[in-house]
Amino acid sequence: MRCDDVALVLPRIADGTEVADIAVRDHVEHCLRCQAEMVQYRKLLKALHQLRTEVLEPAPGLVSDILATIEAAGERGAIRSLLAGKRAAYVGGIAAATVAGATAGALVLASRARQRRLRVAG
Amino acid sequence: MTVDLDELVAAAQTGDRAAFDGLVRATHADVYTLALRLTGDEEDARDVTQEAYLRAYKGLHRFRGDAQFSTWMYRITANCASTLLTSRRRRRHDELPDDMPIADTHPDIDPVAMAEAGLLRSRVSDALQELPPRLRAVVVLRDVYDMPHEAIAEELGITEAAAKVRLHRARRKLRERLFPLGREEAAHAV
């Protein structure tokens, strides 16, 4: 096994996601270069992991900018809901008026028909 | 004062705006930190952070609590940053290839001594910013934030295999940047 072959798996062995097989283990145990590389990867991964605890403070005003963006989005959503509600009310009004008109028409027609029947009978 | 994020999430999901504001206040610095690590630019990081919270606000009803709220926010942030960087890359013509070596501005400093002095972390931070954004995103999400390959691939819009390849390249570049000695010399430095 050559160093270049081992180099491909060293970072995964260093982060614990891969276990070194016998051939890799044999090579690394006898190769100072690969041992050095393994140590470097371990240091690198440790340092990267430590960055997780670091918090980079944003410049002032970020929170208020975020809240303003959400407020604006909330307003747009509310306006859409209102418009949708009004549209529904408008459509509902037309439907009710149509039903009322049709009912009134039917009543008038029924009343006239009854009067005609009474005149014919009289 | 400790803020119970679970309680805030539950209240925010019922439409309590003040609770969502509380979530923003409690988590914005962490989200901004990730955004800055991914974009490498303060202005971009602010934009990404705002966009991430806007998406979270609109999609909060989809958050089931399977993961922590902060983890959910990290995924949204990664996705927003990826969108920004992808659109920017499409506009750029002078993009550096992934294989371009990163120049070491402090080759004379002994990395082992620095590690012992606790300075390696700050050099790692600097080196991350010199990586191409597509490599930086993967190594930050994987090695700093412990995000699984599958989630990284999903949020960055790439395959899992591509995510693994990028991770390998990023780690190799960082190692070469931080430990610039030749392999022979490095062997003697151990």
Per-chain mean pLDDT for chain B: 85
Helix (H) or strand (E) holding B81: helix B69-91
pLDDT for B96 equals 46
Per-residue pLDDT at A122 exceeds 70: no
Task: Tell me the C-alpha distance between B52 and B65, whole Å.
Answer: 18
**Closest by CA position to B144, among listed A50, A57, A35, A83:** A50
| Higher local confidence (pLDDT), B108 or A75 | A75
- Shared domain for B67 and B136, answered yes or no, is no
Considering only the C-alpha atoms of chain B, give the largest distance between any 2 of them, rounded to a whole number of Å: 62
Q: Please name the amino acid found at residue A37.
A: E
Write out pLDDT tens, residues B107-126.
455 555 555 546 788 889 99
User: What is the pLDDT confidence band of residue B190, given thresholds at 50, 70 and 90?
Assistant: very low
Per-residue pLDDT at A2 exceeds 70: yes
- Shared domain for B190 and B128, answered yes or no, is yes
Name the residue range of residue A38's domain: 3-53
Contact B186 A36 (CB under 8 A): yes
Domain assignment present for residue A79? The answer is no
Helix (H) or strand (E) holding A30: helix A22-30
Q: Which residues of A touch B49 (CB under 8 A)?
A: 58, 62, 66
**Closest by CA position to B157, among listed B95, B89, B101:** B89
Out of B72, B95, B118, pick the residue that ends a domain.
B95
Q: What is the mean pLDDT of residues B29-48?
A: 95
Cβ neighbourhood burial of B109 (10 Å; 0-12, 13-18, 19+): middle
pLDDT for B94 equals 47
Residue in A35, A54, A57 nearest the CB of B190 = A35
Out of B73, B95, B117, pick the residue that ends a domain.
B95
- Shared domain for B85 and B135, answered yes or no, is no
Q: What is the mean pLDDT of residues A59-74?
A: 92
Interface test mutation site (partner A, options B39, B125, B128, B139, max chain A beta carbons within 10 A)? B125
Per-residue pLDDT at B24 exceeds 90: yes
CATH of the domain at B142: 1.10.10.10
Dihedral sign from CA coordinates of B73, B76, B79, B83: negative
- The nearest CA of chain A is from the CA of B93 a distance in Å of 30
Residue in A8, A55, A69 nearest the CB of B29 = A55
Out of B63, B79, B95, pick the residue that ends a domain.
B95
Residue in B25, B175, B189 nearest the CB of A63 = B25
Given CB atoms, is A35 within the 8 Å cutoff of chain B? Answer: yes
Place of tokens 């980079």: A56
Per-residue pLDDT at B49 exceeds 90: yes
- Shared domain for B7 and B84, answered yes or no, is yes
User: What is the pLDDT confidence band of residue B132, given thresholds at 50, 70 and 90?
Assistant: very high
Q: What is the mean pLDDT of residues B62-83?
A: 92
pLDDT for A9 equals 93
Q: What is the mean pLDDT of residues A85-91?
A: 65
Domain assignment present for residue A21? The answer is yes
Domain assignment present for residue A111? The answer is yes
% of chain B with per-residue pLDDT over 90:
67
Interface test mutation site (partner A, options B38, B39, B46, max chain A beta carbons within 10 A)? B46
Contact A69 B174 (CB under 8 A): no
- Shared domain for B115 and B77, answered yes or no, is no
Per-residue pLDDT at A104 exceeds 60: yes
Name the residue range of residue B147's domain: 102-190
Domain assignment present for residue A78? The answer is no
- The nearest CA of chain B is from the CA of A66 a distance in Å of 5
| Higher local confidence (pLDDT), A52 or B117 | A52
- Shared domain for B4 and B91, answered yes or no, is yes
Residues 6+ apart with CB under 8 A from B158: B166
Contact B187 A52 (CB under 8 A): no
- Shared domain for B10 and B45, answered yes or no, is yes
For chain A, percent helix, then strand, then coil, each to nearest 5?
A: 85, 0, 15
Domain assignment present for residue A63? The answer is no
| Higher local confidence (pLDDT), B1 or B139 | B139
Least confident of A30-39, B18-27, B81-90: B81-90
Contact A40 B53 (CB under 8 A): no
Overall domain count for chain B? 2
Cα angle B133-B137-B139, degrees, rounded to a multiple of 5: 120
CATH of the domain at B64: 1.10.1740.10
Q: What is the mean pLDDT of residues B87-96?
A: 62
- Shared domain for B80 and B113, answered yes or no, is no
- The nearest CA of chain B is from the CA of A27 a distance in Å of 14
Per-residue pLDDT at A15 exceeds 50: yes
| Higher local confidence (pLDDT), B96 or B59 | B59
pLDDT for B116 equals 55
Residue in A8, A48, A65 nearest the CB of B143 = A48
Q: What is the mean pLDDT of residues B86-102?
A: 60
Per-chain mean pLDDT for chain A: 85
Overall domain count for chain A? 2
Interface of A with B in 78-117 (CB under 8 A): none
Q: What is the mean pLDDT of residues A64-88?
A: 80
- Shared domain for B91 and B3, answered yes or no, is yes
Given CB atoms, is B91 within the 8 Å cutoff of chain A? Answer: no
Look up the ipTM and state it: 0.78
